[in-house]
Amino acid sequence: MPKQGSKGKSHASSEVERFARAFKTEKELREHLETLFRKMGRLEVRITHGTSERGKDIVFYGPSGLDDHSLYACVVKNDRIVGDVTSPTAAQVVFHQAEQALREPYRNPSTGELEKVKEVYIISPHEALPSAIDSIAAQLAAKGNVEFFCGARLFDLFAKHYRSFLLF
């Protein structure tokens, strides 16, 4: 089951909407996410968006297990995730990208080795519709781990690790 929602913190919807509008383009959002992940201590953070991304807009290594690091991938959207995976909507695009990120290995440019993604983070500064989250999560449940950081939950990460960005 995907993890979703804010961890108990309440933000005025206008505050989250203003946060979402701060990212003029998806490219700008990816660049700020790269900075956020570095501030969070993630390793080898790379923006991989482009023709050979294989569903992965950003990749990084982070803690997993007792004393190990794993590969994580991010599907980044600067739009609200709506609809379901059976119709031509944002949810369908996100589903296909996340599925590809889980299915297709990542070639680490430092080692040349192919590596499997442990978990995919679906990220948007806008709140995602619960029906879209449920639709994506249900279709990906057997394929791998997916976690959503949308709207207030993403805002919370910025507030904790990248406060200087929030001084907009």
Structure token digits, residue 33 = 């996410």
Q: Residue 162 in contact with residue 17, Cβ under 8 Å?
A: no
76 and 33 in contact (C-beta within 8 Å)? yes
The DSSP output letter for 129 is P
Tokens (6 digits) for 96: 């296909």
The neighbour count for residue 158, using CB atoms within 10 Å, is: 20
Residue identified by tokens 């005025």 is 12
pLDDT, one tens digit per residue, over 40-51 is: 999 999 999 887
Non-local (6+) Cβ contacts of 127 within 8 A are 16, 80, 150, 151, 152
Per-residue pLDDT, 6 = 45
> Is 8's pLDDT higher than 70?
no
Quote the pLDDT of residue 52: 75
Using one digit for the tens of pLDDT, what is the confidence trace for 22-66?
Answer: 999 999 999 999 999 999 999 999 999 887 788 999 999 999 888
Q: Which run of H or of E encompasses 107?
A: strand 106-107
This prediction has a pTM of 0.89
Q: What is the pLDDT of residue 7?
A: 46
